[in-house]
Structure 1
Amino acid sequence: MSSLIEQAAQRLEQLRQAGADMPATPPAVPAPAVAAKQVGNSDVQPAALSRRVEIDLEALAAAGIVSPNAPRSQIADQFRVIKRPLIANAMGRGASIIANGNLIMVTSALPGEGKTFTAINLAMSMATELDYTVMLVDADVARPSVMNVLGLPEGPGLLDLVVDESKDLSSMLLRTNINKLTILPSGTQHARATELLASDAMIRLLDDMAKRYADRIIVFDSPPLLPTTESRVLATHMGQVVVVVQAEKTLQSDVQQALATIESCPVKLMLLNQAKTISKMGYEYGYGYGYAQQEA
C-alpha cells in the first residue's frame, strides 16, 4: 500500500509542475472494508445482537439435569410427563384459554426445595420439543443461581430491562448451543427490586415477552414464596405457577401458606421433589406430580 501512495504523490507533483490545480497532499487511499465480527456484545452493530454462550452439556447430565444429547433417563421421562400439560396450556390447548399461559413461574415455599433445579430441567426438556422455543429467565433477583448452575457468567438482564425500557430484550438474551433455548440473566442488582417487579415497566416487559413470538414458552426461576415478596408480585403476571415441594421435609402448613399467596394465578401445579418410589432394585428418587386449575 505504501508504494501506491508514493506513486500517487509523484504523479501529483508532476501534475502540479505542469500547472494543474491539484491538492497539496495526496488523497487518502481507502482501507479495505473489514466484515463486522461479533465478539461478546462489545461490537457496534446496526442492531443489538444477543451473545452466544456454550453450556457444558456433559457436566449438566452428570449433575442430573436433562440434556438433549444424553441417553434416555428416568428424570428425562419424568419431565416429559410434567411439561405436557404446561405446554398445552401455554399454547391454548388446555381446558380453557389462559392469559399469558406461556409465562410459567417455578417457585417453592422455602429455599432449598429444588426450584432452580426444576426450572432448568423444565426449560431443557421443553427445548427438545420440535415446535416451540424456550426462554429461561433467572427472576430470583435477590439470590440468582441459574447462571452459576449452568456454569455461565452473570451479566445484564431482567432488572436492566425494567430500569431502562429503551434497552432491547434481544441484546440481553444469551443464545446457547441448544438451538431452541435462550437465557435471560437476572441482571444488575437493585435495592428496589421488589418495586421494579411490581412496576408498569415490568408489566409491559412481560406482555412483550408473552406476545412477541407465538411459539415461545418462558420459564421463570423465581424466589421462594414465604421469605420474599418478589415472587408473589411476579405471580400476579404469570399464566401458570409450578410450586416445588420437597418430599418429607416441607411442612404442610408452609405449603398451604405459600399457595394462599398466589391464589389469583389461574393455574397452579404442585411438584413433589425427591419423592421415594419403590422399584425392583429398591428405593428410587423422583418427582411426584399434581395438577390443579381454577378460574382466575
Structure 2
Amino acid sequence: MSIIEKAAGRIAGQARESRPRPRPATPPPLVAAVPQEPPVVQLAQAEVQPARIAPRHQIDVERLHKAGMVTPNSERTPVAEEFRFIKRPLIGKALYKGQGAIRHGNLIMVTSSLPGEGKTFCAINLAMSIAMEMDHTVLLVDADVARPSVLPALGLEAETGLMDLLRDESLDLADVLLRTNVERLSILPAGNSQKNATELLASQSMKALLDDIATRYADRIVIFDSPPLLLTSEARVLAEQMGQIVMVVEAEKTTRNTLKDALRKIESCENVNLIYNKGRSFAEPETYGYYRS
C-alpha cells in the first residue's frame, strides 16, 4: 500500500469518528389510560300521562236531609236510627265467611211487590246508612232498568251504566261507576234502556259481572234497587243471583195475597227480610213508622 493510500485511509477513519452517533429513541411518556364515557344517547321519552281520576258527582245531601232521608254527618234522626237497626243483620250476613256463609251474601236486592211502596227510598237510605260505617264501602246499583229512579232521587244526571256494560264488551265496570261526594258510596246507573233487558240480566255476562262485583273488594256491600216483582220479569231474574233480598211492604195498602204472590217469585233466595214502610206513627216517640222483621 502506498503512502497516499495509507493517508487516505486515515482521513476516512477520522471522518467516520467525527460523525455524531445517533441517540437512542426516547420512549414516549407513560400516560394513564382514562376510560371514556359511553356516548350519550338521547332516548325519546314517552309522555307520562297522569292517572285519570274520575270526578266526584255531587249529591245534594242537604236536600236529601230536608226530605227526611239518611245523610252522612247529620244529627240523629228517627229514620237514621231505624236504618241502623235494619242494616246490622244484613251486614253481618254479608260479611260472614264461616261455615254456612251465604254465596253472594254482600249482594242485597231491595224490591217490592208493586210500584210506589218505597223501595227506592229504602235502597238509598240503606246504602247511605252503610256508607257511614268505618269499615265498609257501598255500591248502589240502579237495577230498575225500565224506570230508573236512583239518579233522579239523588239529583244526578243520567249516565251510561249497567245496560251499556252488559251490551258493550269494550266497557269496563270502572268506566261507568260514579264516585260521589259521600266518601264510601259509589253508584252504578241503570244506563240506556234496552228492549232485551231481561235477557241481558239473565246472560252469562251479567253472572260474570255479579261474581266480579261480589268478590273484587272484600269490604264492599252492593245494594240493588230492583224493579217490582209483580210488574216485570227482570226482578225475578235478578233475584236468582242475590245473596239477600229486602222486600218493602207498604203499610195499609199491600194486601196479604199480593205479598204472597211476590214472595213466591223469590223462593230461590233463602234470606228474605221485610221492611214495613209508610206505617202510621203511634204515640210513643220511639216508633217512627219504619219497621223491620
Could you state the TM-score of these two structures normalised by the residue count of structure 2?
0.80
Structure 1 stretches of 4+ moved >4 Å: 33-36
Give SS of 1:278's match. Answer: coil
In the aligned structure 2, how far is the partner of 1:190 from the partner of 1:81?
Answer: 37
2:192 is the counterpart of 1:173: no
Is the contact made by 2:108 and 2:244 (CA closer than 8 Å) also made in structure 1?
Answer: yes
Would you say the 8 A contact 2:127–2:223 is kept in 1? yes
Partner of 1:287 in structure 2?
290
Cα deviation, residue 265, structure 1 = 0.7
Aligned runs of 1:13-32 on 2, under 5 Å?
none
> Equivalences for 1:1-296 in 2 at 5 Å?
49-92=53-96, 96-280=100-284, 285-290=288-293
Judge conservation of contact 1:53–1:175 (CA < 8 Å) in 2.
yes
Which piece of structure 1 moves more, 163-172 or 58-67?
A: 163-172
Shift of 1:246: 0.4
Over the matched positions of the two proteins, sequence identity in percent amounts to: 55
Matched-pair contact (CA < 8 Å) for 2:78–2:288: no
Shift of 1:95: 8.4
Q: Tell me, what secondary structure is at the counterpart of 2:290?
A: strand
Distance 1:273 1:168, change over 3 A: same
Contact 1:88 1:94 in 2 (8 A): no
Q: Which amino acid aligns with 1:176?
A: T
Query: Match for 1:227: what amino acid?
Result: L
Kindly state the Cα deviation for residue 269 of structure 1 after the two structures are TM-superposed: 0.4
Instruction: Calculate the TM-score normalised by the size of structure 1.
Output: 0.80
Give how far 1:260 is off.
0.3
Cα shift at 1:152: 0.1
Task: Give the drift of 1:279.
Answer: 2.5
Secondary structure of the 1:248 match is coil
How much does 1:274 deviate? 1.4
What corresponds to 1:26 in structure 2? none
Root-mean-square deviation (CA, aligned residues, Å) is: 2.1
SS in 2 for 1:275: coil
| Aligned residues of 1:161 and 1:167 also touching (Cα < 8 A) | yes
Distance 1:240 1:233 in 2: 14
Summarize the Cα distance change of 1:161–1:289 in structure 2 as closer, same or farther, 3 Å threshold. Answer: same
1:205-225 residue CA offsets vs partner (Å, 9 max, x unmatched): 001000000000000000000
The aligned length equals 248
What residue ranges of structure 2 are gaps of 5+ in the alignment? Answer: 1-46
State the Cα distance separating 1:166 from its structure 2 match: 3.0
Question: How far apart are the structure 2 equivalents of 1:94 and 1:284?
Answer: 35
Query: 1 or 2, which has the higher strand percentage?
Result: 1
8 Å CA contact 2:201–2:238 kept in 1: the answer is yes
**Post-superposition CA distance 1:119-151 (Å, at most 9, x none):** 000000000000000000000000000000000
- Cα distance in 2 for partners of 1:285, 1:92 equals 30
Q: Tell me if the contact between 2:131 and 2:137 (Cα under 8 Å) persists in the aligned partners.
A: yes
Q: Does structure 2 conserve the Cα–Cα contact (< 8 Å) formed by 1:134 and 1:182?
A: yes
Q: SS state of the match for residue 276, structure 1?
A: coil
Deviations 1:229-248 (A, max 9, x none): 00000000000000000010
User: What CA distance in whole angstroms lies between the structure 1 residues aligned with 2:267 and 2:284?
Assistant: 40
